[in-house]
Structure 1
Amino acid sequence: MLKTVKQKTGWLACLLVAFLLLATIAEKARHLVGEDAASRSGQFTWINCFDMGTGSLACLAKEGVKSYVYNIRAGHIARVKQRSFEIAYANALAEGKAAQVASKDAKTAGNKAEKLASRKARRILGPFSAAAWDMFEALYYGGTMFEATMRGLGTIGGTYWGSLQGEANLGRVGYLIGSHLGSWIGGRVGLMLYDIAVGVHFLVNENFVETPSVYVDDTGSYETSTEGENNIEL
């Protein structure tokens, strides 16, 4: 038990150090490329939800998306439960059981199928809905499609990992905490990787200058021709 706790503590410490190191490198990259080329979607916080303007509208849209996803999940779970009930009930009757006993067994089978479907739906719909919103948020703030993709992928990975770890340790409450925390961390890691990639791209193209060409014209004088830096946006 003590050994397991030490291992988990060690892993958390390593992850924290890696996160801080990545954040430092990303901050240097943002200063290097400037605000126009750096990631933009990290500006939005929960305080923006109360500005009675675009921030409030964005938060309402986010909650609407979540509600829609939850409705899809509820409908899916209801269909799975009903289907399992019907199959179990028909099988029980075929085995010669009384209708009352068959109905009881079918309800038990339906409840088990409902729990399993609910668990699977949380692990699929949760990460993808969070990622879809973060991608929309990145585009809304003027970010590039590359930024939106990087943030979305980070959110999917963070939400999925956080939800699994939280559910394994604290059950349903742990799932909620882990998914939200993992979503935030994953999204920020995606933005950091985006800023680092833009910084590396900027350095590579900043140092790319064609070698001047020298030639002699008819009068015997020397002339040179150079081309400036190639700035290519991601």
Structure 2
Amino acid sequence: MDLAKTRGRVVTLITAFIVLTFLAEKSRQIVGEERSSQSGKFSWMDCFDLGSGTLACSIKEGVKLYTYNIRSGIVEKSRHKAYEIALEDALHEGLSIQEASRAAAVAGKKAAKISSRKARRITGPVIAAAWDFFEAIYYGGGPIEATMRGAGTMCGAWMGGIEGERKLGRIGYLIGSHLGNWIGGRVGLMLYDIGNAAWFLKEQATAMLGGGITVEEESAVEVEL
């Protein structure tokens, strides 16, 4: 029964992804290359162009460092809190200082391990989303495109990581988060293109009904001038 449900979910997700891909492609054709999403494949060599690529990489590494500092702070706080609670409980049970300290150290280490696992689920998607956000900006995308791609990446990496960890543990987390990262970013861009095309068609319809010129006609006039 569970296998049948899993297969059904997989088929549904694949079908939805294919439909979104088709709609996004048609949407890009409607609005044209210049008005569609501009994000492309980002190479590590772009980090050394001494321009916006270098800036994007610097910001990405800064975000990475900041999130890892947050992670280490959360882990250390959990370790310290668990140590104090375990030490107090051990002393109340009548253990010696040395025995209570050893028991508290074990409890603190265990709490730090659990907290580190939870923090990883947060920092990974945040870093991935920040990287895709600035990659979209680097390739000429607007703030809305960058935000939607980053949001898609974050949701995909988070959901994929949790699902993968539930199925295959740590390896599943790595596979799921990376796969979800890629799929989520693409879904964000496809939704942006579909929404962009819908807004474009709305403007065209409004201009035609209002007796004005369409966006394409306006662009043609500007070229002639």
Partner of 1:49: 44
SS of 1:207's partner is helix
Partner of 1:132: 130
Is the 2:47–2:57 Cα contact (8 Å) retained in structure 1? Answer: no
Q: Is 2:179 the counterpart of 1:181?
A: yes
Q: Is 2:99 the counterpart of 1:101?
A: yes
Over 3 Å counting, the alpha-carbon distance change for 1:209 and 1:64 in structure 2 is: closer
Q: Distance in 1 between matches of 2:98 and 2:37?
A: 62
**Paired amino acid for 1:91:** D
Q: Percent identity?
A: 49
Q: Distance in 2 between matches of 1:56 and 1:123?
A: 27
SS of 2:140's partner is coil
Q: Which whole-Å deviations, capped at 9, do the CAs of 1:29-65 have from their partners, x for residues lacking one?
A: 1111112111112x124xx224674397455764564
Report the TM-score, using the length of structure 2 for normalisation.
0.83
Q: Distance in 2 between matches of 1:180 and 1:139?
A: 21
Partner of 1:222: none
Q: Distance in 1 between matches of 2:125 and 2:95?
A: 43
SS of 1:38's partner is coil
Q: Distance in 2 between matches of 1:76 and 1:37?
A: 43
**Paired amino acid for 2:41:** F
Partner of 1:6: 4
Q: Is 2:214 the counterpart of 1:229?
A: yes
Q: Distance in 1 between matches of 2:136 and 2:192?
A: 12
Partner of 1:17: 15
**Paired amino acid for 1:229:** T
Q: Distance in 1 between matches of 2:139 and 2:45?
A: 17
Q: Distance in 2 between matches of 1:211 and 1:33?
A: 19
Q: Which of the two has greater helix per residue?
A: 2
Is the 2:60–2:130 Cα contact (8 Å) retained in structure 1? Answer: no
Partner of 2:204: 206
Which one is further off, 73-82 or 52-61?
Answer: 52-61
Partner of 2:143: 145
Structure 1 vs Structure 2 CA RMSD: 2.5
Question: Unaligned regions of 5+ residues in structure 2, if any?
Answer: 219-225
